[in-house]
Amino acid sequence: MKQSLFAFSLRKTLFLALFAMLAMGACKSKKKAVQPTPPPAPTEEVVKPTPPPAPVRSAEEVAVEKLENYFNAVAGAGSVNAANQTIQETLAMFSNQETPVLIVIHEENGIKDYDEPTTIKKYLDYLKDTKKNLNYISDIRMDASGKVSELELRRK
């Protein structure tokens, strides 16, 4: 049987139309994929807050640091003259040479037991003689002029 030219052409036309619609649909999705994405929204510049200024140290903290350094220098001095010079520099930080130095030997329930009280001059001479600094400063009291008026030490 012979098919009519019109029927064949109608099938062919419908097939081509269907193929064209599929092709156009595919092109649209590719077009969307190929289109450049919009630039990202501008991000806010993160401003780092400036760090707070270093805490101001109290006069007692500064004095403790200096005294610890002086005590170590006296104990580690290479000669008697160097130790005596360091002792004179250290004594300038105290209200007088008879400033009391208390050494805690035991503490229980807030009650402290002290070694025999001594003076700063005697303690510095002790450091010079023994060449050992076995104590650290646990409490310091200063007078109105900024000089040390009492010192409390503990074993390291």
Give the torsion through C-alpha atoms of 28, 34, 35, 38, to 10 deg. 130
Range of the domain at 83: 59-155
Does 111 fall in a domain? yes
Token output for 94: 């105290």
No. of helices (H) and no. of strands (E), the chain: 4, 5
Does 36 fall in a domain? no
Does 1 fall in a domain? no
For residue 87, what is the enclosing H or E element?
Answer: helix 80-91
The domain tally of the chain equals 1
Does 26 fall in a domain? no
Does 54 fall in a domain? no
Does 119 fall in a domain? yes
Does 95 fall in a domain? yes
Per-residue pLDDT of the chain (156 residues; tens, 9 = 90+): 555 555 557 777 777 777 777 776 655 555 555 566 677 777 777 777 888 877 888 889 999 999 999 999 999 999 999 999 999 999 999 999 999 999 999 999 989 999 999 999 999 999 999 999 999 999 999 999 999 999 999 988
Q: Identify the CATH number of the domain in which residue 110 sits.
A: 3.10.450
